[in-house]
Amino acid sequence: MKALVTGGGGFLGSAIVRMLRERGDEVVVVARGDYPQLASLGASLVRADITDLPALTGAADGCDVVFHAAAKAGVWGSHESYYKPNVVGTEMLIAACLATRVPKLVFTGSPSVVFDGRDQANGTSALPYAHPPSSHYSGTKAASERLVLKANSKPLATVSLRPHLIYGPGDPHLVPRVIDRASKGRLALVGDGTNRVSLTFIDNAAAAHVQAADRLSFNATCAGRAYFINDPEPVVFGEWLTTLVARLGLPPIKRRLSIPTAAAIGGALEFVWKAFGLSGEPPLTRSVALNLGISHWYSIEEAVRDFGFAPPVKAEDGFERTVEWFRPRVPRAS
């Protein structure tokens, strides 16, 4: 099989590339930078912007499947900064797939498209899109997912996967933020710490994409549908966070904030950042505060049923691998 992976230099994209190459598939990567580690795996690299239709068309030519993992993530920035890569980029990629007769497109979606600030327990694909969206990221991911699912047709079978809070060795987002804040004494538990949250070990997220691609066809049950992807059981977030900090040898979490207080602080910081045009993300936003304090966990039963999703790594093993990788990289006080 020949596969194109957009965003192959990212955390999830590179894991998909690795998994495909390990089983002998030919892989082409579209990314904006140079990634020698991907070349060392035997992948071909096309350096291009995700909105560059000619480059995408050239890269997709002759491919059996496209994995679209490229996106601008985060919770802060202008609408335009998210719209162009996430929505226009997806439009261009669909056009490239149709022009080159690629038969399958696996899209990396996001559970944030349904997050409305309220508890979500054992959520399924029946959950509606949040209105209004919680951020420009979630709004543009919802728009791009709609484009992908609408494009499902006999020439191009499509599916969207929504991995939730991906972590693992090399994680550039979740665990590093915990380490940074804990090492500075700024990490706080929001709420009573008993909220349940779905996490996804990196290998399980990548495996879901490969497994979905293998099953996908226009007549497949999964065609034209969106699926939540995560480890089978949610964690009690306060316990998971406390254990992670302890295992990494970081100072224990002493600060606690109620959900209303955290949300109010996040809203105030958003106002200050917008009013004064401050650079970077605020240390807390209302959306992040709610995500830290309430339950949001999702069922994978539909993915198991429709395309045979089988997470290859148990959650406890994934946690251990993550701790082992990050522990020697935690900065220590001199």
Three-state secondary structure of the chain: CEEEEECCCCHHHHHHHHHHHHCCCEEEEEECCCCHHHHHCCCEEEECCCCCHHHHHHHHCCCCEEEECCCCCCCCCCHHHHHHHHHHHHHHHHHHHHHHCCCEEEEECCHHHHCCCCCEEEECCCCCCCCCCCCHHHHHHHHHHHHHHHCCCCCCEEEEEEECCEECCCCCCHHHHHHHHHHCCCCEEECCCCCEECCEEHHHHHHHHHHHHHHCCCCCCCCCCEEEECCCCCEEHHHHHHHHHHHCCCCCCCEEECHHHHHHHHHHHHHHHHHHCCCCCCCCCHHHHHHHHCCEEECCHHHHHHHCCCCCCCHHHHHHHHHHHHHHHCCCCC
Parts of the chain with a pLDDT under 70: 333-334
Neighbour count for residue 135 (Cβ, 10 Å): 22
Chain-centroid distance of CA 152 in Å reads: 22
The reply to whether the predicted model has a pTM over 0.85 is: yes
Quick one: pLDDT at residue 156? 98
Quick one: pLDDT at residue 20? 98
Quick one: pLDDT at residue 217? 97
7 neighbors 31 (Cβ within 8 angstroms): yes
Burial class for 118, CB neighbours closer than 10 Å (0-12, 13-18, 19+): exposed
Torsion-angle region of residue 30: left (phi > 0), alpha (psi -120 to 50) or beta?
beta
Instruction: From the options 1.20.1530.20, 3.40.50.2300, 3.40.50.720, 3.40.190.10, give the CATH code of 2-164+200-231+298-312.
Output: 3.40.50.720
> How far apart are the C-alpha atoms of 122 and 300, rounded to whole Å?
9
- Candidates 153, 9, 139, 149; CA nearest to 87 is 139
> How far apart are the C-alpha atoms of 76 and 82, rounded to whole Å?
9
**Count of residues making up the chain:** 334
> How far apart are the C-alpha atoms of 104 and 1, rounded to whole Å?
12
Active site residue 137: yes
pLDDT tens per residue, range 240-251: 999 999 999 999
Quick one: pLDDT at residue 113? 96
Residue type, 102: V
Given the residues 35, 129, 137, 298, the one annotated as active site: 137
Quick one: pLDDT at residue 274? 86
> How far apart are the C-alpha atoms of 297 and 302, rounded to whole Å?
14
The pair of structure tokens assigned to 222 is: 């999964």
- Candidates 59, 49, 69; CA nearest to 6 is 69
Torsion-angle region of residue 144: left (phi > 0), alpha (psi -120 to 50) or beta?
alpha
184 neighbors 289 (Cβ within 8 angstroms): no
